[in-house]
Amino acid sequence: MGHPVVHYEIRATDADAARRFYGELFGWTFAQAAEPGYTYIDTGVEGSTPGGIGPARGPGLVTFFVGVENVTDALATAERLGATVVLPATSVPGVTYALFADPEGHIIGVSSND
């Protein structure tokens, strides 16, 4: 089975400034999410990959999430292949997600819908 990119996000040290910037640049609008300070991106394009902007948990980053059947298993495989877990499996209503750094240090996410 293939694993598509299912989500992207911008984690910024000033999430409000990032929303202003990308909103003006691309015409994006933003809807509140369950996580405080996090918003979903509405690109205005039907069927586009969902994304979000929220506060950084350290240095700011831009990343994408790949859909997997099991986040814990995907993290274990990533570690076996030389990755480092950045954020362990975390669940919020409807989704479990995690972040890892690949062997070159790129931060990538994995997620599964609950």
Domain 8-55 belongs in CATH node 3.10.180.10: yes
Counts for the chain of helices (H) and strands (E), in that order: 2, 8
- 72-94 per-position pLDDT tens digit: 999 999 999 999 999 999 998 89
Domain boundaries, the chain: 8-55, 68-114
pLDDT of residue 2: 86
Distance CA 1, CA 20 (A): 38
The secondary structure of 102-113 as a DSSP string is -TT--EEEEEEE
pLDDT in tens, 17-53: 999 999 999 999 999 998 899 999 999 999 999 999 9
**If you classify domain 68-114 with CATH, what class do you get?**
alpha beta
pTM of the model: 0.85
Q: Does the structure show a pLDDT above 90 at 58?
A: no
